[in-house]
Amino acid sequence: MTTIKTRAEDIYGRLEEHVFSGKIVSSSPDDPLGTIRMTTELAWFPERIIPKDEIVRGVKRVRLPRKGSKTFKVNGSMGDVYTVTKQGKVWSCTCVGYGFRRTCSHIKTAITRDKKKRVRNRIT
């Protein structure tokens, strides 16, 4: 279960804040760019779409890679590119999902690439 807070202007230009709880689920191909999908536990409205730029917490946790770190560019499902960083044994990603769950599919992709690279280096 994840709780996120959003902040957006309503039609009168007033700032409105909302708190949503649910599970982050994968977006549908029809969803607008730059949005996430979250469950609501309401039978008549099972999932809501939330624009990433309205999320107050859990986003834009971009850490600059330090010495001894590796970075991987991983394509997201909606054409966006995320930076996955390996710092020692710790993996991190610039996507929203990582901000909530501390893991994501991009990290899995990067780990696979990292392993393949190491195997190749051993052979050659």
Rule CB under 5 A: which residues touch Zn ion? Answer: 82, 93, 95, 98, 104, 106
CB of 98 to Zn ion, least distance (A): 5
Q: Please, which residues have CB within 8 angstroms of residue 1's CB and are 6 or more apart in sequence? A: 21, 22, 23
Question: Residue 88 corresponds to which tokens in the numbers above?
Answer: 């020692």
Between 18 and 57, name the residue whose CB sits nearer to Zn ion.
57
Residue 93 β-bridge partners: 84
Residue closer to Zn ion, measured from CB, 54 or 96: 96
Least Cβ distance, residue 123 to Zn ion (angstroms): 29
